[in-house]
A and B are shown apart, each in its own frame.
Chain A
Amino acid sequence: MTLLQQHAEAARTPSGPAVRISSVTKRFGAGPLVLDDVSLDVAPGEFVCLLGASGCGKSTLLNLVADLDQPTSGTVEVPGGRPALMFQEPALFPWLTAAQNVELALRLKGVAKKERRERAGQLLELVRLKDAGGKRVHELSGGMRQRVAMARALAQDSHVLLMDEPFAALDAITRDVLHEELVRIRESQSLTVLFVTHNVREAVRLGERVVLLSSRPGRVAKEYAVDIEQPRRIESPDVARLSVEITEDLRNEIRRHGGQS
């Protein structure tokens, strides 16, 4: 199958999904099945949170969407072209300054030098780090690094942003602020976001839809529409109510693996 044809075809049909995962299974070598018949469509502009226990295959699925790995069977389509991906660690390059990290993404896209500088400045301003562009990575705090990583991901100018537990390593206060930032930036850039987390409240705080994955093998267990208006607060009763419901399902899902006891 040629990816280019798929891209061209899907680009012609604007109503199609931004990400289409169809009957994907994944197995590493001769190991156990990690993903089993996973199908998921993400609509353009939608914010979907993928929720699941540790080791259930969330990162594996995201890597398939990012084209870092190939499915054993099934197809993954991203009609809008290569998606941007944010990892759990900021993974900034330490030999570059914050601004140069952002510029590198632009350079690899073939953006001309003068435009690169300008665009990187705008993106850093968007994540409120206008004055930190000249700083080295080790001079930035964890939250600032993740914001630079976000600016770098946005520099790829993809319509789809994949995020693999990007805030898991941050303290609660910083994480809360970054949630707010992400929602703000997402709306201003009309991005499609596929956000992986094992934190139920985070999923409910951010997503328009939460997809619960089962473990071993990973399957889509259940989906939840989050009908709470943004701006939400992670400690609000609405978020808490849905979180309780999802947590109960997640627990039952995990219990299945414990046998009879």
Chain B
Amino acid sequence: MSVFTTKRDEDLASLEAGLDALESHVETGPSRGRKLLGAAWPPLVALALLLLAWELAYRAGLKPTYALPSPADVGLKLWEQLRDGTLPSAMGTSLSRGGLGFLLALAIGTPLGLLIARVRPVRLGIGPIVSGLQSLPSVAWVPASIIFFGIGDAAIYAVVLLGAVPSIANGMVSGIDQVPPLYSRVGQVLGARGLSAARYVLLPAALPGYVGGLRQGWAFSWRSLMAAELIVNSPELGQGLGQLLDQGRFLSDMSLVFAGILGIFAVGIAVELLFFAPIERRVLRRRGLTGVRH
């Protein structure tokens, strides 16, 4: 033992420090702000070109004005709807429905996914049905929901759940399936059993797949909600974006319809960019899974 102290030990320590320094790479790359800026301008250019084409089509008189209003008309309508509060209130109504529906889907889809992933008979029995449901457009559920629940919130939420629960459950399943078996064995060696194995090893390891499923679950919630709102429409129900669209169709007000579409687009993108993208990025970056740029 004494042989190892002092000189020899110091030699080893410095050798090791050198190796560590040589082998650890420092990640470099453009700053985040610059990256965002770089990513932002191509879509902006594309958008400008699109508006230009639209304006030209309008001036050429391809369609009567009620069918093809000018970009300025739509902009004006949008501004009007924003100012008198119609659009913000419709966005708020839809967003709260979408959010609540998503949370319900989360509460159902997560345990369902766990069951499918971990209980063999459940996987064999229900697994294929749940993955199959994912490819069924949820608008197909609208008539059934209306007959079953009547025109009302229940019908809307039923459609949202049928759209979002399968994505979330499937995300959980694929997240768990992708966990390397080695991790479970390490957990076992460290003494993780049953619940503690799930909490400290399985669930954190499955997180990337699960977060991907959540993101997709939100996209499905939002789509299903719009399909439902467009059809499930009555004066007693709060006016969401879908109902606003339907009103525009009823009045043959193309500008209103476009304003509604822009509202749907804005909410969908905003939730995606401000909520899910940062969560996903964080989860992946912590694990070093974001592509390293060279």
Partner among A129, A132, A136 whose Cβ is within 8 Å of the Cβ of B288: A136
A105 pairs with B1, CB closer than 8 A: no
Once the chains are docked, how many angstroms separate the CA of A180 from the CA of B20?
Answer: 15
A173 pairs with B19, CB closer than 8 A: yes
- Is B80 interfacial (CB-CB < 8 Å)? no
- Is B237 interfacial (CB-CB < 8 Å)? no
Partner among B1, B189, B205 whose Cβ is within 8 Å of the Cβ of A84: B189
Partner among B19, B186, B196 whose Cβ is within 8 Å of the Cβ of A143: B19
A177 pairs with B15, CB closer than 8 A: yes
Given A93-B183, A93-B205, A181-B16, check contact A138 B287 (CB 8 Å). yes
Hey, what's the 0/1 contact readout for B1-43 against A, CB within 8 Å counting as 1? 1011000110011011101100110010000000000000000
Partner among B16, B188, B189, B283 whose Cβ is within 8 Å of the Cβ of A128: B16
CB distance from B265 to the nearest CB of A (A): 34
A128 pairs with B13, CB closer than 8 A: yes
A-B contact pairs, 22 of them (CB 8 A): A82-B189, A82-B191, A84-B189, A87-B185, A91-B182, A93-B186, A108-B190, A108-B200, A136-B288, A140-B24, A141-B19, A141-B23, A143-B16, A143-B20, A144-B20, A174-B23, A177-B19, A181-B16, A183-B4, A184-B4, A188-B1, A231-B8
B interface list, Cβ under 8 A from A: 1, 3-4, 8-9, 12-13, 15-17, 19-20, 23-24, 27, 182-183, 185-186, 188-192, 196, 200-201, 204-205, 207, 283, 286-289
CB distance from B127 to the nearest CB of A (A): 26
- Is A104 interfacial (CB-CB < 8 Å)? yes
Once the chains are docked, how many angstroms separate the CA of A95 from the CA of B204?
Answer: 7
Identity of the chain B residue whose Cβ is nearest the Cβ of A184 in the assembled complex = B4
B23 pairs with A143, CB closer than 8 A: yes
Residues of chain B with a CB closer than 8 A to A132's CB: 20
B24 pairs with A141, CB closer than 8 A: yes
Partner among A107, A128, A136 whose Cβ is within 8 Å of the Cβ of B17: A128
Residues of chain A with a CB closer than 8 A to B192's CB: 108
User: For residues 54 through 112 of chain A, which have their beta carbon under 8 Å from a beta carbon of chain B?
Assistant: 66, 68, 82, 84-85, 87, 89, 91, 93-96, 104-105, 107-109
Residues of chain A with a CB closer than 8 A to B1's CB: 187-188
